[in-house]
Copies of this chain bind each other. A is one copy, B any other.
Amino acid sequence: MQRVAVVSYGLTKFRRSNDSLYLIAAESMRDLFKNVNGFSQDYVDAVLVSTCDNAQYTASILSEMLGIKPKIAHRIENMCNSGSNALISAYSYIASGLCDIVMVVGVEKADSPSVKLEWDLTRGQFTHPAHWAAMFSKAHMNEYGTTEEQMAMVSVKNHKNAMMNPMAYFHTKISINDVLRSKPIVKPVKLYDCSMPCDGAASLLLVSEKRVKEFTDQPVWITGIGQKTTCASFSNVKELTKMDSTILAARDAYTMAKIEPKIIDIVEVHDAFTICEILAYEDLGFVDKGKGGRFAESIDNENINVNTRGGLIGTGHPIGATGVAQAAEVVMQLQNKAGNRQIKNCKNGLVHNMSAAATSATVVTMGV
């Protein structure tokens, strides 16, 4: 089995705009072309597009727009977890020998149909994700004494990180008090505890081991992959103090990579809400169950860097693009290209992407 590397990435500014889905996606693809020395569209065997938009035939249309005539082209959707599904399909197409060079494009508009969970009749009128986030938050507060201040610290950190990311939607320094006093959404979730849907795109170029030297001397190898769908409806989420799909996906990714969480230097976690980042600290194995709130207080002194681009909360959440943009950040850090937010001596990274009240999740580990 040959190894698979991510060799480069392309990004757009995350924003709210009148630009079309196609234009935004193409912007990230052109950025990718520019980032790869001697790039040629003729190389590309597959174009996999991650989006929750209703646009049909998107992968073929974007291929035509950008002058690519791929073998494989299709659109992939699994709500907020779409981007990492596309990443893993790209891995599979290369590892199976069907392709050598695959482009992954994640794109979304702010008014994506995935913003609400209207298919889940068990939620009644509570189709906005803030409802499940509130229930997770309350459960963790009741069980482990996690506080609203600790959750606020996640938002403060991610907004602070986003200030060093020119592509982020938000560039606003906020305080714990700003979060605590922000608009109540669903108790105890307040506005600054939430990520915000926006426009944006991100692209990745994945290459087989045998072709990798043509493109970079800094390949970022995919070392571990784990995914799990436990259910789809919120009524089937039995435990609110942990995210089973993340726990199982992480276990499989660490097993495949033959690593332990303590060696991870840089991680992008799916902070759709602040409580999700606190749960992720625990469920990815960086800290014991129940200690995520206190970890949020001390994270500046820990041996791990979480959501250096600003996370979903600071960067914005263009749904189908998020998993791809998370992976792009890890690649950027591992290639030592993250500019003024570069973490020193990054060797191992992790991407955590998930959907719909943590009913499905992906964990991908990468290393140099």
Q: Say if the beta carbon of A174 comes within 8 Å of chain B.
A: no
Please tell me if the beta carbons of B60 and A232 are within 8 angstroms of each other in the complex.
Answer: yes
CA distance A78 to B70 in the complex (A): 13
Please tell me if the beta carbons of B88 and A78 are within 8 angstroms of each other in the complex.
Answer: no
Chain A 261-298 per-residue mask, 1 if CB under 8 angstroms from chain B, else 0: 00000000000000000000000000000000000000
Please tell me if the beta carbons of B359 and A229 are within 8 angstroms of each other in the complex.
Answer: no
CA distance A55 to B355 in the complex (A): 15
CA distance A232 to B229 in the complex (A): 33
Please tell me if the beta carbons of B57 and A227 are within 8 angstroms of each other in the complex.
Answer: no
The listed residue (B47, B59, B356) touching A60 by CB distance below 8 A is: B356
Known pairs A69-B229, A227-B72; A88 contacts B98 (CB<8 A): yes
Could you tell me the distance in whole angstroms from the C-beta of A300 to the nearest C-beta in chain B?
Answer: 35
**Complex interface: chain B residues within 8 A of A95 (CB):** 92, 95-98
Q: Kindly identify, within residues 93 to 124 of chain A, every residue whose CB is under 8 Å from any CB belonging to chain B.
A: 93-98, 113-114, 119
Chain A 58-80 per-residue mask, 1 if CB under 8 angstroms from chain B, else 0: 11110110000111111111110
Residue of B nearest to A256 (CB): B98
The listed residue (B1, B225, B229) touching A70 by CB distance below 8 A is: B229
**Complex interface: chain B residues within 8 A of A57 (CB):** 77-79, 114, 119, 232, 355-356
Please tell me if the beta carbons of B69 and A228 are within 8 angstroms of each other in the complex.
Answer: yes
Interface size on A, residues (CB 8 A): 56
Please tell me if the beta carbons of B233 and A64 are within 8 angstroms of each other in the complex.
Answer: yes
Please tell me if the beta carbons of B85 and A72 are within 8 angstroms of each other in the complex.
Answer: yes
Could you tell me the distance in whole angstroms from the C-beta of A230 to the nearest C-beta in chain B?
Answer: 6
Known pairs A78-B59, A79-B56; A64 contacts B231 (CB<8 A): yes
CA distance A92 to B225 in the complex (A): 15
Q: Kindly identify, within residues 147 to 188 of chain A, every residue whose CB is under 8 Å from any CB belonging to chain B.
A: none
Please tell me if the beta carbons of B1 and A96 are within 8 angstroms of each other in the complex.
Answer: yes
Q: Say if the beta carbon of A199 comes within 8 Å of chain B.
A: no
CA distance A20 to B145 in the complex (A): 44
Please tell me if the beta carbons of B231 and A119 are within 8 angstroms of each other in the complex.
Answer: no
Please tell me if the beta carbons of B360 and A73 are within 8 angstroms of each other in the complex.
Answer: yes
The listed residue (B119, B230, B249, B360) touching A56 by CB distance below 8 A is: B119
**Complex interface: chain B residues within 8 A of A47 (CB):** 229
Residue of B nearest to A231 (CB): B64
Please tell me if the beta carbons of B232 and A54 are within 8 angstroms of each other in the complex.
Answer: no
Q: Say if the beta carbon of A306 comes within 8 Å of chain B.
A: no
**Complex interface: chain B residues within 8 A of A82 (CB):** 74
Known: A57-B77, A75-B78, A91-B96. 10 other contacts (CB 8 A): A1-B96, A60-B79, A69-B229, A69-B231, A74-B89, A75-B77, A92-B96, A95-B96, A95-B98, A98-B225
Query: What 4 A-B pairs come out closest when comparing CB atoms?
Result: A95-B96, A92-B92, A74-B78, A60-B232
Residues of A participating in the B interface, judged by any CB pair closer than 8 Å: 1, 47, 52, 54-61, 63-64, 69-79, 81-82, 85, 88-89, 91-98, 113-114, 119, 225-233, 236, 249, 252, 355-356, 359-360
